[in-house]
Chain A
Amino acid sequence: MSRSPLISMHGIVKRFGGVTALENVDLEAYAGEVLAIVGDNGAGKSTLIKILTGVYQPTEGSIKLDGAEFKMANHSDAIAAGIDAVYQNLAIADHLTPPENLFLGAELTKSFLGFPVLDNARMRQEAERVLSERLGVKLKSMDVLTESLSGGQRQAVAIARAVYHTGLRVLVMDEPTAALGPQETARTLKLIKTLREQGLAIILISHSLDDVFDVSDRIQVMRRGQRVGTVDTKDTDNAEVLGMIVGASAAA
């Protein structure tokens, strides 16, 4: 592959006191591509993406964005650079409508008697536009409370929020399908493909190899804080990846 990665991590080491969570890990993510990260519990996936999204600082190693050194002091720096994550337990307020959630903390306003007041109509319109144009999602109603939406729809709202506000380039999804039924999972995977078509670099963490083989372009396997290897999805199969996860291929 001759093109250069949108974001890359080099020689990342992370120690918590005496415990080494990550040992010299690399990662490359390309625009318009889904990189899946798989590995057993405690393999270091979560730590790795928390460093990628600025939540943790690496003990050693560097991150490059567009080929240039990129340092983050906190999560806000990551968001400002267009790197955001959608977590399993979504930061969504159940008692607000989807547009209200989408714009939570960054509301659109208009002037009323010289004071800024919330422009609910415009937020509703924009939310509808972002959801349908960027995510290909249509909700039946924009006026229901988010608590009455399904898990997949709530996730779509969370993703729409990330897409809309950050000029998103790198989207990290941590176990997006873990809590979803089969139909909802299919929709979320379709949503991931839609976002990939738009040139986003997507990093997908998942325990479900079915999902990984469905949407990913490359698979990075982690074990005990190290990268075991990265394989092209089309050149591998379930058994090989599973072997890498549990360390069988190394033993064989």
Chain B
Amino acid sequence: MTDITMPARQRSIKERMEPYMSIIAPVSMILMIVLLMAILEPARYFRLSNLEIILLESALYMPMAMAMTFVITQRGIDLSIGSIAALSTICSAFLMKVYGYPAWAGVAIAISLGACMGLINGLIITRFRVPDLIGTLAMDLVYRGFALVIAKGLVLARFPDLITDIGRGRLNGFLPIPVIIGLVTMIAGYFILRRTYFGRYTVAIGSDPQAAELTGIAVDRYKIYAYVLMGAMAGLAGVMLLGKLNAVQATSAPLFNLHVIAAVVVGGTSLFGGRASLLGSLAGVLLLSMMINALVTLRIEFFWQSVGSGVVIVTSVALYTWLQKKDRDGSAGGLMGLFASREAQRLIKFTAAIIGILLLLLALGYFGAGTPSRSG
């Protein structure tokens, strides 16, 4: 028999770096934060107690970031996880506080309820063909609504030891339990991704749904699995938050969606499917927690957190898109290309017009301004 050795196509440096790309962006941003804090506030930022605060903060998001990695790798998205966490925790909190359920049952029920809600999401997306973005956004309202209906304005507080242990306990008085839980889910996620049908098919589905279907993969079923995993992990995170605060209310966990999706996307898992990086998600979670912690350490107002997260998401997604585009068609572009074409000049004029109108309105208002009345 003849041997045909097919030489691998000449691989560019970028292609060779490809597998590590997902880790490069968050790690370099982490380094930037470290550097910045080393200059601005080294004494308070680099304390062991502060490191622990960062770890505890990020531990809460690790299970969800793990599950979200699967959902996004399949080209899906779940915008309902904050509400799933709130509703499942409210239900289990009621069972524990009002009906005297044991703590272990409360934990298991919260996770199972989360899984059920994930199942509902999955069924809505695969059976009724509601696009994931709309489907989970609508279910976010539904779950949050139920949480408000059940809890009214109540704050349920003071839970059994098992719950607070999960949220803020220590193993042997040293290792924080939530961090262990977070890392274990991450490691389990890595195992699932590499070693199970579900993990393999998740990549295949995200890479090319039609090809996956042709190969005989039950695409819908594996999509549902991902949402169920997502729901269960949101339920777990809900319990961890419950234990951390030792209290829960219907409006708990409002920022889970944004935070988790940000962490996963920053970590290099592609929104266009097929590229999963759990290590990247872990780095992404750490990055966001470090950033928020840095803002707190610098005594910057809480509301800037939201600005910071948003900027980090846009920056990293733009970066990944740019990197991928470059190694596809080798086009130079980026900022310089922005000013080159006539189309770009039209856009610039359009932008200038909008800014101009805004400035004009501000000026008009200034000249017409009277004495302001106090609000409220």
- Give chain A's interface residues, CB within 8 Å of chain B: 90-96, 100, 104-105, 107, 112, 117-118, 120, 132-133, 135-141, 144-145, 148-150, 152-153, 156, 187, 190-191, 194, 197
Contact = CB atoms under 8 A, between A and B. Distances in A.
Interface centre among A100, A104, A141, A150 (most CB of B within 10 A): A104
Contacts of A117: 195-196
A120 B208 contact: no
A137 B8 CA distance: 12
Contacts, number: 95
Interface string B1-33: 111111111010001001000000000000000
A120 B215 contact: no
Contact of B4 (A91, A150, A187, A197): A187
B212 interface: yes
B207 interface: yes
B6 A92 contact: no
Contacts of B3: 132, 136, 138
A118 B197 contact: yes
Interface residues of B, number: 33
Interface of B: 1-9, 11, 15, 18, 194-197, 199-200, 203-204, 206-208, 210-212, 214-217, 273-275
A118 B196 contact: yes
24 contacts: A91-B208, A91-B215, A93-B203, A93-B204, A93-B274, A95-B274, A96-B200, A100-B203, A104-B215, A117-B196, A118-B194, A118-B197, A118-B199, A118-B200, A132-B3, A137-B6, A138-B4, A138-B6, A139-B6, A139-B8, A149-B9, A150-B6, A150-B9, A190-B4
Nearest to A198: B1
A145 to B, nearest CB: 8
Contacts of A145: 18
Contact of B208 (A93, A137, A144, A152): A93
Given A140-B7, A197-B1, 17 more contacts: A93-B211, A93-B274, A95-B204, A100-B200, A100-B203, A104-B200, A104-B204, A105-B217, A117-B196, A137-B4, A139-B6, A139-B8, A140-B6, A141-B8, A150-B9, A187-B6, A190-B2
Contact of B195 (A118, A144, A197): A118
A136 B9 contact: no
8 nearest A-B pairs in the assembled complex, by CB-CB distance: A95-B274, A140-B8, A93-B207, A95-B207, A105-B215, A91-B211, A91-B214, A117-B195
A94 B200 contact: no
A144 B8 contact: yes
A31 B199 CA distance: 39
Contacts of B197: 107, 118
Nearest to B1: A136
A100 to B, nearest CB: 7
B274 to A, nearest CB: 3
Nearest to B5: A138
A189 to B, nearest CB: 10
Contacts of B210: 91
B195 A95 contact: no
Contacts of A138: 3-6
Nearest to A105: B215
